[in-house]
Amino acid sequence: MSHLQRAIEESVATLRSLSALEEPLQRAAQLVSRCLISGKKLLICGNGGSASDATHLATEFLCRFKDDRRPYPAISLTANGEFMTAVCNDYHADEIFARQVWGLAEKGDVLIVITTSGKSKNVVRALEEAKRKGVESIAFLGRDGGFTKGIATVDLIVPGTVTARIQEGQKVLYHALCEIVEETLPKA
């Protein structure tokens, strides 16, 4: 079997496993819809490839996903390199997202975190800070959820051991989230 064929087969198997996440995906969509319709904002973070996915997901809400509609407030907490390096210098890398949640999050906002391993300490700290502030959260996790599992309001865990397949599954999940939510949002 070629590398491409193997990647396709693994990806298909991962994507099929996502059907078990219908219920938590619906709960996540309700949180996001309620947040945006009530005039609140999304805060989104992750590390590495998940940082890129955080910015991608924020763009889907702030610009548009499928239909032409008004922009909705979504902030990627990974997009401010100056802030992140200052926190690493003055505090610790574990605090780069938590300090932003502390400074930006308000009750009614939703924090979305993305991690393929579930073992990112800075993501855990962000979730802990959100909980301290009474902010609900959604965690896109991989593998078995790691030590992040159970901290967020809603967990969406893509099973598997290959990071690339987990990322592909997470992308399908957050695009499905966008589709569900966009149907509920006022266009203007």
Instruction: State the Cα torsion 82-51-151-85 to the nearest 10°.
Output: -20
Could you report the per-residue pLDDT of 15-61, keeping only the tens digit for each? 999 999 999 999 999 999 999 999 999 999 999 999 999 999 999 99
Q: How does pLDDT run across 62-71, given as a tens digit for each residue?
A: 999 998 999 9
The number of angstroms, rounded, from the C-alpha of 30 to the middle of its chain's C-alpha atoms is: 15
Q: What is the pTM of this model?
A: 0.97
For range 136-149, the mean pLDDT:
97
pLDDT of residue 188: 83
Asked if 154 and 179 touch (Cβ cutoff 8 Å), the reply is no
Q: 138 near 112, Cβ under 8 Å?
A: yes
For CA atoms 165, 166, 169, 170, give the dihedral sign.
negative
Scored b (16 or more CB within 10 A) or e, 150-182 reads ebbbbbbbbbbeeeebbbbbbbbbbebbbebbb
